[in-house]
A and B are shown apart, each in its own frame.
Chain A
Amino acid sequence: MTNTLAKPTGNVSVDTSELSSAGLTRTRRNILSGIGEPVALLGALVVLIAIFSALNPRFATITNLQNVLNQASLPIIIGVGATLVILIGSIDLSVEGVMAASGVAFVLMSANTRGGQDMGIWAFIVPLALGIVLGAANGLIYTLLKVPSFIVTLGMWFIGFGIATILYGTDAYPELTNETLTQWAAKIELGLPNVFWLAAALVIVAALVLRYTRFGRAALAIGNNEDIARANGMPVRKHKVTTFIIAGALSGLAGILATMQMGGTSNHIGEGYLFLTLPAVVIGGTALSGGKGGVLRTFLGVILLTVLNNGLVLAGVSPNFQSALSGAILVVAIVAAAWSQRGRLRIAK
């Protein structure tokens, strides 16, 4: 037995060096494939822009660019939270409900056409706190009672919507009377709308957090394998609750900003945002199974979808067809985005 082994041991040392060099070449290839996806996304964006520019000269103007970025900002802000949640393999469907609750709270606490008192800074703090509380409730119910996040947040969507409906009551549509508030979002600063600068700043902060902090790396680790994360002594539950709180706060912020953009609000303020943001996250390349992706990808995904919607309007596509058409393009885009990962999907759960 010992004799038979003596020889292979000699050979094997050669083997290891081969293995590690193979590891290196594989890494290099992987870096390329890592860039490949965003490049494909950018390519698709360029193609879309080219087509729409050809269809309508008004598409490729500074004004329209500002318009597109203005429209994209809220989905980007929501998308940052959604990405953090999806990275850990969970999902947050409560966005629209939280937006509604915070939006209505915001308008009623600011100077508005219904009268009431202008609470100044509290008009911002309270709606944000509402988002944080609803997000924390999501996270705590999800982790402590071990209910799937899909169900918890679906419920929280309607709880938020219910809060908004109660706050809203039956009075007339409240409009903000302070013009500084209503004009802030779309106001151009250094060539781009304020609200876009805010969204971009959040994306950059989130990207840095994901790359350079323990919290960010833990998100990827938990998304990759929760059991291993737990066995390594990572605070999985705390991380999840924190993530849902961040997502709730961002939804709350989006509710405030949406109200400022609209100049007023109803309990329906959040409608449509979730179903723009989630596909954008997926198109960006963040895996719904968790552990892979990032906020910069989500940023690109949102821009792509916003350009698509904006371009269809400018191209004069009838609103009757628009919804079906953007749905179809969405499916094609997702298939194309997921194409490179077919192999990986086969091994996945």
Chain B
Amino acid sequence: MTQETSQATTPTLRLTDVRKSFGPVDALKGVSLYIKKGEVIGLIGENGAGKSTLLKILTGIYQPDGGTIEVNGRVTKFRGPRDASAAGIGVVHQEQSLFTNLTVAENIAMNAGGHRTGTRFGFYDWRALNKAASETLEIIGSKLNPKTRVGDLSFVDRQMVEIARAIRTDTSKGGSPLVILDEPTSLLERGETAVLEREIRKLKSFGSVIFVSHRLDEIMRNCDRILVMRNGELVADRVTESVTEDELFKLMVGHASHASKSVRKPVDPKATPILEVYGLSRKGKYQDVSLAAHAGRVTAIVGTSGSGREEVSRAIFGAEKFDSGTIRLDGSEVRGWRIPKAVRKGLGFVPSERKVEGMVGGYSAAENIVLTNPGKAAVGPIVLPWKRNKIAQDWFTTLDVRPNDIGLELDRFSGGNQQKVVLAKWLNDPELRVLVLDHPLRGLDPGAAETVNEQIKKAVANGAAVVLLADTLEEALDMGDEILVMRDGAVTARYDMTVDDPSTLDLLERMV
């Protein structure tokens, strides 16, 4: 299993037989690994494989039930996050963990463990604090102003702040920083991901990196060595050159990928599109956007974060106003287009901010599924619990939601499983006409992503029209029957995939 090479230097970090259980559940069943200075380690595994538990142990949030942690050859116990950070371990979280109301410099200093420049006896020396932050930012090649409030930064800039915070440790004791990147790219656009990847290469020169991602291509591109977890165990430790994406998928999931290529049907020229958008404009966001969503087809919109595609998709669902242009449904213009009306007309929307907009976390999964369209569960205004539970149970089985407990609060499911429930909420509408998907695969592991994509394809096969904002260009090319490229609020290209065959490079050229 784990083939350790002879080590000339002591590894930055070594775990031996680390175990952790929660009640009867063994989250980690004895994990041993090592990381050397200058290494970039990829850590992959499905949701629930134990990655998060492992990371929380490395960052001192959880204490292991057994096993040892060695930092630079010394056995260490992390009693809390402060100890981990003092040992040089920093994290860049998937859901960013910065204080949006404080400045860049303060956020960077916040995690500096015992040694804090910029404060003396609890008092701040703002000048020293800002200077230290600038120096740290310089190391990672960022020119951010340390006095900027983090809430005013773009997503990728915030990530730079997180990286700066993660590497800001005391290197004087001969230690080197270990930065854990926890799915850092899942919320980034393509261009932004490239910035991050460059950053990873920079980190290699003075520290080591654990890179957690669901995107196998990224893992292959950036990592020297790849660790695969499944069911709380480390099932593989491979040097990147000796492994393929397909093998990794098999190791993670336990079976080979069976995703099918979409079959593309040409549009019937006589058919009225379900939904048409004509000359939609909103000042400062997008101008003159037109598109047509046909039954049984996926319209994918690609673009960077400032391209306006998010705003367009929200306008289509009635979640945001637009200044001019029209939206037509079955050929006739709609007026007073707001979410309640859109939902009545058979539109569904899976938002990118799942936790904020897509679900009621305190409700059970079953209640979430029947939230907007109770369907057969309702008699008049009354939702019958036993019918609701039956419907929910069917969806759980179809979508393989884990844990298989429809009564559990949705907050307590992992991201991928939450997304399945959010999707089921819309699919539960027998009258579903148009499904608007804003990054439906964001943060999902390949297994869950496959399930979600299958369901989207099924909905399309059943005659729904889908407007898709894909995470990756590959996803757009795979799913889209038509692809719209947007840049700075305008449509720069359209591809009918039954005729055209654009490459990712073609799309990129029109995006940036």
Residue numbers of A with Cβ under 8 A of B are 1-2, 4-5, 7-9, 11-12, 15-17, 19-20, 22-24, 26-27, 30, 211-215, 217, 220-221, 223-225, 227-234, 291-292, 347
> When the two chains form their complex, are residues B101 and A233 in contact, meaning their CB atoms are under 8 A apart?
no
> When the two chains form their complex, are residues A217 and B101 in contact, meaning their CB atoms are under 8 A apart?
no
> When the two chains form their complex, are residues B99 and A220 in contact, meaning their CB atoms are under 8 A apart?
yes
With a cutoff of 8 Å between Cβ atoms, the chain B residues found around residue A212 in the complex are: 123-124, 126
Q: B156 within 8 Å of A by Cβ?
A: yes
The CA of A19 and the CA of B59, in the complex, are separated in Å by 30
Given the known inter-chain contacts A5-B221, A225-B99, A233-B85, please indicate yes or no for A215 contacting B157, CB distance below 8 A.
no
Which 6 pairs of residues, A with B, have the shortest CB-CB distance? Answer: A233-B82, A233-B81, A26-B152, A228-B97, A224-B99, A214-B122
> When the two chains form their complex, are residues B110 and A27 in contact, meaning their CB atoms are under 8 A apart?
no
> When the two chains form their complex, are residues A213 and B122 in contact, meaning their CB atoms are under 8 A apart?
yes
The CA of A5 and the CA of B198, in the complex, are separated in Å by 12
With a cutoff of 8 Å between Cβ atoms, the chain B residues found around residue A23 in the complex are: 144-145, 148, 152-154, 157
> When the two chains form their complex, are residues B512 and A4 in contact, meaning their CB atoms are under 8 A apart?
no
7 of the cross-chain contacts (CB-CB < 8 Å) are A1-B221, A15-B191, A26-B152, A27-B152, A214-B124, A231-B81, A231-B97
> When the two chains form their complex, are residues A16 and B195 in contact, meaning their CB atoms are under 8 A apart?
yes
The CA of A27 and the CA of B303, in the complex, are separated in Å by 26
> When the two chains form their complex, are residues A233 and B113 in contact, meaning their CB atoms are under 8 A apart?
yes
Given the known inter-chain contacts A5-B194, A27-B152, please indicate yes or no for A213 contacting B98, CB distance below 8 A.
no
With a cutoff of 8 Å between Cβ atoms, the chain A residues found around residue B501 in the complex are: none
With a cutoff of 8 Å between Cβ atoms, the chain B residues found around residue A292 in the complex are: 101
Given the known inter-chain contacts A27-B145, A215-B122, A292-B101, please indicate yes or no for A9 contacting B505, CB distance below 8 A.
no
B60 — nearest CB in chain A belongs to which residue?
Answer: A233
Most A Cβ at <10 Å: residue of B99, B197, B356? B99
A22 — nearest CB in chain B belongs to which residue?
Answer: B154
- Min distance, Cβ B62 to any Cβ of chain A, angstroms: 12
**Dominant SS among interface residues on chain A:** helix
Given the known inter-chain contacts A9-B198, A17-B143, A217-B106, please indicate yes or no for A30 contacting B99, CB distance below 8 A.
no
Q: B80 within 8 Å of A by Cβ?
A: yes
> When the two chains form their complex, are residues B111 and A232 in contact, meaning their CB atoms are under 8 A apart?
yes
The CA of A224 and the CA of B149, in the complex, are separated in Å by 13
With a cutoff of 8 Å between Cβ atoms, the chain A residues found around residue B191 in the complex are: 8, 11-12, 15
Binary CB contact string for chain B from 78 to 108 against chain A (1 if under 8 A, 0 otherwise): 0011100100000000000111111000100
> When the two chains form their complex, are residues A9 and B194 in contact, meaning their CB atoms are under 8 A apart?
yes
With a cutoff of 8 Å between Cβ atoms, the chain B residues found around residue A220 in the complex are: 99, 101-102
With a cutoff of 8 Å between Cβ atoms, the chain B residues found around residue A347 in the complex are: 356
> When the two chains form their complex, are residues B145 and A24 in contact, meaning their CB atoms are under 8 A apart?
yes
- Min distance, Cβ B403 to any Cβ of chain A, angstroms: 23
Q: B119 within 8 Å of A by Cβ?
A: yes
The CA of A16 and the CA of B111, in the complex, are separated in Å by 25
> When the two chains form their complex, are residues B122 and A4 in contact, meaning their CB atoms are under 8 A apart?
no
- Further pairs besides A16-B143, A26-B152, A233-B111: 8, Cβ < 8 Å: A11-B512, A15-B512, A19-B154, A23-B144, A23-B157, A232-B81, A233-B81, A291-B101
With a cutoff of 8 Å between Cβ atoms, the chain B residues found around residue A232 in the complex are: 81, 85, 97, 110-111
- Min distance, Cβ A212 to any Cβ of chain B, angstroms: 5
Within 8 A of A (CB), among B338-364: 356
Within 8 A of A (CB), among B27-85: 59-61, 80-82, 85
Q: B15 within 8 Å of A by Cβ?
A: no
With a cutoff of 8 Å between Cβ atoms, the chain B residues found around residue A4 in the complex are: 503-505, 508
With a cutoff of 8 Å between Cβ atoms, the chain B residues found around residue A20 in the complex are: 142-145, 157
The CA of A159 and the CA of B414, in the complex, are separated in Å by 44
Q: B190 within 8 Å of A by Cβ?
A: yes
A218 — nearest CB in chain B belongs to which residue?
Answer: B110
Given the known inter-chain contacts A5-B194, A12-B194, A228-B97, please indicate yes or no for A30 contacting B156, CB distance below 8 A.
no
The CA of A225 and the CA of B504, in the complex, are separated in Å by 39
> When the two chains form their complex, are residues B508 and A8 in contact, meaning their CB atoms are under 8 A apart?
yes
With a cutoff of 8 Å between Cβ atoms, the chain B residues found around residue A224 in the complex are: 99-102
Q: B264 within 8 Å of A by Cβ?
A: no
Q: B204 within 8 Å of A by Cβ?
A: no
Within 8 A of A (CB), among B457-512: 503-505, 508, 512
